[in-house]
Chains A and B, each alone.
Chain A
Amino acid sequence: MNAHPYAFLALFGAVAVAFPLILLAVARLWFRFFQPPKPSLDKGAVYECGIAPSGDSWIQFKAHYYLYAILFLIFDVEVLFLLPFAVAFTTLPGGALVAMLVFLLLLAEGLVWAWHRGHLEWK
């Protein structure tokens, strides 16, 4: 018997659905038979790596480092474009070099802007 070439996808889909459902069912059964609900203040408290929690869990998180991540990404991608350019450098015309320099200039202007506006200072 020859299976359809895409039959494995159906099998894959069935397993992908069944696997989490089985796990959830097992967890539900465990809860039903072995874990009677006895809520208490301590059990409902915020988990803070084992020690007694202090304060609310709804605090603002300092996420300033996303700026560094974005700036890093700019230059990361720049390298990605520069590498194939460097590999093919000897066969490229002069216009390509100018185009690449313009590309670098645009990215550099972005960094200069962020620097001048004080976005690189840790507040």
Chain B
Amino acid sequence: MNYLELLRALLPETALVVGALLALTFDLSFGVRQSRETRLHAAVIIGTLAVVAAMFGALSAGVADAVFGGVLVLDELTLASRLGVLMLAWLTLTLTGGTARLRHPAEFVAIVLFATAGFTLMAAAQQLLVAFLALELASLSLYILAGFDKSRPESAEAALKYFLFGGMSAAFLLFGFSLIYGLTGSIELPQIAHQLARQGQSPLLSLALVMVLVAFGFKAAAAPFHLWAPDVYEGAPVVSSALIASASKLAGFTLFVRLLWPGFGPAAGSVATAAGSPGWLPLVACLSAASLLLGNFAALAQSNVRRLLAYSAIAHAGVMLLGVIVAGDAGLGPLFYYVFTYGLATIGAFAVIAVVERAGCCQKITDLAGLHRRSPLLAGCFAVYLLSLAGIPPLAGFFGKFTVFAAALNLGGLAGPAGWLALLAIALSAVALYYYLVMLKQALVVAPADPASAPVPVPADAAIVLVFTALLLVLLGLFPSVVLRIF
């Protein structure tokens, strides 16, 4: 038990928490007589500094073996996931500075930083209790962020639904964890794997795995546990939705892939043959297929941009689950690349929505009409994000889908269920392309409903987010090995 070693491993979290406390203290002392705008910008600057410090902390913590008696692990996945989460949090903060109108700006920034600390801790956790605590720190912060806009009833509804669903899933997760502990006598993942390999299958283990996967489904918004996602994406403040849709996904999938493969790997079962031996892999395959079908088809019927993005997030969760399935064989590269580029594209799309909503439009798809005239920058970036989400080369979304599907087809070929799942996902990508193009048509082709409609002003902070994410999506699509080489 070396506390200095622990402190070094937790440098990013320390930087984030100190930054959050500083933002609050600054607001309480110097911010009292300032305007809301100044307080927001001060808080965002402090938050950005904290995130940058956390990035340096994550880099200086580096790659090491188990830390503090195996509580944390600092491998390549931890480092990549921490840096990815921090970058997405930085984008969220910058977007907050540009577009948000908040009654309590410092509190908002502080809670974003607390959530980010939860995410980075999730990326490093290697013990069930720490994993659960990190997940709850992140989730509780996200519930508050979802309900932050007290002037809109939709925001309160979103927060309440998210809280109830999230609380339920936390209960499931804890119950599953307690059963795992009862079966293996340990809460540390390597020991659990060791014990599970000795014990083999048992009914109690199946129950525990189902419990954990139900919770996983809730957190990842995978069908049939997706019901909270559309309401939260629609009702929460745009910036909160962006964080929930991007950084939280990346951290969640990092945590669960670590839990499932290094921890419960011996109980994986198999999807290589049609019958499939019992384990969690067939269950994840079912979740993936359900999410792909439901997300893509339900998205076709949406008229609200944010709800459409929520259903597309459910569909993408299906592909990410496929990435979890192939992670045992093809490594973590495909999954991480997919989730990270998805997070970038989503945060960009939400940035566009935030800027458009700030200019006074509501959230219908038809409100995007004539965006190319009203703001060419917004329309151009929007095209990059949506085409990347749809998987059009040379953008990053294409390569993400390509690596995941190729890895799935390598796993037992076309005949195995993973192969079928990949085929289903490829076919449904065509459906997805349709609804993304419906949005793009409004933004790029259709003339503005009101010919005299004013141009949409893009604040400088939001422009940074837009250009940065669009450029990164193009560059990562051209040079995917930059990310894939890490693993």
Contacts and interface: CB of A to CB of B under 8 A. Distances in A.
Contact of B3 (A98, A106, A116, A117): A98
B3 A113 contact: no
21 contacts: A93-B1, A93-B3, A94-B3, A95-B1, A95-B2, A95-B3, A95-B4, A95-B6, A96-B3, A98-B3, A99-B3, A106-B17, A106-B21, A109-B21, A109-B24, A109-B25, A112-B28, A113-B24, A113-B28, A116-B28, A117-B28
A53 to B, nearest CB: 31
Which residue, of A96, A98, A99, A116, has the highest number of chain B Cβ atoms within 10 A?
A116
Nearest to B6: A95
Nearest to A116: B28
Interface in B1-15: 1-4, 6
A4 to B, nearest CB: 16
A101 B104 CA distance: 28
A16 to B, nearest CB: 21
Which residue, of A93, A98, A113, A117, has the highest number of chain B Cβ atoms within 10 A?
A113
Interface string A96-107: 101100000010
Nearest to B24: A113
Contacts of B3: 93-96, 98-99
A95 B3 CA distance: 5
A106 B3 CA distance: 18
A117 B2 CA distance: 39
Contacts of A99: 3
Interface of B: 1-4, 6, 17, 21, 24-25, 28
Contacts of A113: 24, 28
A87 B4 CA distance: 23
A95 B9 CA distance: 14
The 8 closest A-B pairs by CB, nearest first: A95-B3, A116-B28, A109-B21, A113-B24, A93-B3, A113-B28, A99-B3, A98-B3
Contacts of A106: 17, 21
A116 B4 CA distance: 34
A112 B29 CA distance: 11
A109 to B, nearest CB: 6
Contacts of A112: 28
Contacts, number: 21
Contacts of B21: 106, 109
A96 B7 CA distance: 12
Contacts of A95: 1-4, 6
Contacts of A117: 28
B173 to A, nearest CB: 21
B196 to A, nearest CB: 25
B338 to A, nearest CB: 36
A99 B71 CA distance: 16
Nearest to B14: A102
A17 B25 CA distance: 55
A8 to B, nearest CB: 20
Contacts of A94: 3
A96 B452 CA distance: 66
B109 to A, nearest CB: 13
A94 B3 CA distance: 9
Given A112-B28, A113-B24, 17 more contacts: A93-B1, A93-B3, A94-B3, A95-B1, A95-B2, A95-B3, A95-B4, A95-B6, A96-B3, A98-B3, A99-B3, A106-B21, A109-B21, A109-B24, A109-B25, A113-B28, A117-B28
Contacts of A98: 3
B59 to A, nearest CB: 23
A106 B28 CA distance: 16
A90 to B, nearest CB: 16
Nearest to A109: B21
Nearest to A105: B21
Contacts of B17: 106
Contacts of B24: 109, 113
Nearest to A96: B3
Nearest to B29: A116
B470 to A, nearest CB: 38
Contacts of A116: 28
A93 B4 CA distance: 12
Nearest to B104: A117
A112 B21 CA distance: 11
Interface in A72-96: 93-96
A22 to B, nearest CB: 31
Nearest to A98: B3
B170 to A, nearest CB: 17
Contacts of A96: 3
Which residue, of A94, A95, A99, A106, has the highest number of chain B Cβ atoms within 10 A?
A95
A108 to B, nearest CB: 11
B115 to A, nearest CB: 16
A64 B4 CA distance: 43
Interface string A31-75: 000000000000000000000000000000000000000000000
Contacts of A109: 21, 24-25
A91 B25 CA distance: 35
A117 B24 CA distance: 11
Interface in A107-121: 109, 112-113, 116-117
A116 B30 CA distance: 12
A96 B2 CA distance: 10
Nearest to A92: B1
A58 to B, nearest CB: 18
A113 B22 CA distance: 12
Which residue, of B3, B4, B25, has the highest number of chain A Cβ atoms within 10 A?
B3
